[in-house]
Chains A and B, each alone.
Chain A
Amino acid sequence: AQTVTQSQPEMSVQEAETVTLSCTYDTSESDYYLFWYKQPPSRQMILVIRQEAYKQQNATENRFSVNFQKAAKSFSLKISDSQLGDAAMYFCAYGKKTSGSRLTFGEGTQLTVNP
């Protein structure tokens, strides 16, 4: 079974600084997707960034980028120039390509941004 582990229950960062959230996963599949979702206090889960396992290039979306290490099964999220609006719970998620849209989530990392 696939598992996703986020070892940092809480992280904090100063506004305008950079922070990295960690995620590791376990799978026997060779092709899959990895995601970072953001869940603010409003509860709505918002997709931050997506990485396809077969793509060697790390995904980037504006201030958000990932460090995808397939052999190590590691998928960290880097947030640059942190803003107050980035404060939220961040979830790492895994999805098999063959099983449709079922996602396996980690336990989450609560990010605080200090002014």
Chain B
Amino acid sequence: ETGVTQSPTHLIKTRGQQVTLRCSSQSGHNTVSWYQQALGQGPQFIFQYYREEENGRGNFPPRFSGLQFPNYSSELNVNALELDDSALYLCASSHAGQGHNEQFFGPGTRLTVL
């Protein structure tokens, strides 16, 4: 059983650019959630994907968007990058219907916006 993987590990962009982060969910999981973790803070929920559709969104602007593919992997896209977008982006997978809400996290992508 493979765990949640994310790529890339680190990324440096400049303000105004666009970025795509990738996540492969754990085997057997059909739901992917994305979180933003600013330095020294707890993760903040961005959105969740289930069966290739957005299924819940946190307080993030539309320039944060995502996709989920038939194999349940997912992408997070951020347009018009701002300095405050610098953070650790965590992907978590789970299986909807298991009832206990347990999520399995990837190692994260560290995004730096200059």
- A46–B106 Cα distance when bound, in Å, is 9
Q: Are B50 and A44 in contact (CB under 8 A)?
A: no
Contact A50 B55 (CB under 8 A): no
Instruction: Give the A-B pair count, Cβ closer than 8 A.
Output: 73
Within 8 A of A (CB), among B30-75: 31, 33, 35, 40-45, 48, 50, 55-56, 58
Given A43-B88, A47-B102, A50-B102, the answer on whether A102 and B108 have CB atoms closer than 8 Å is no
- Other-chain residue from A42, A46, A102, A106 in contact with B42 (beta carbon distance below 8 A): A106
Residues of A within 8 A of B45 (CB): 102-104
CB distance from B26 to the nearest CB of A (A): 12
User: Which among B42, B58, B94, B106 is the interface contact of A101 at CB below 8 angstroms?
Assistant: B94
Is B90 close to A, CB under 8 A? yes
Bound-state CA distance A103–B45 (Å) is 7
Q: What's the Cα separation between A95 and B48 when bound, in Å?
A: 13
Q: Is A100 an interface residue (CB 8 A)?
A: yes
A86 at the B interface (CB under 8 A): no
Within 8 A of A (CB), among B68-104: 88, 90, 92, 94, 96, 99-104
A87–B94 Cα distance when bound, in Å, is 26
Interface residues of A (CB under 8 A from B): 4, 33, 35, 37, 42-47, 50, 52, 91, 93, 95, 97, 99-108
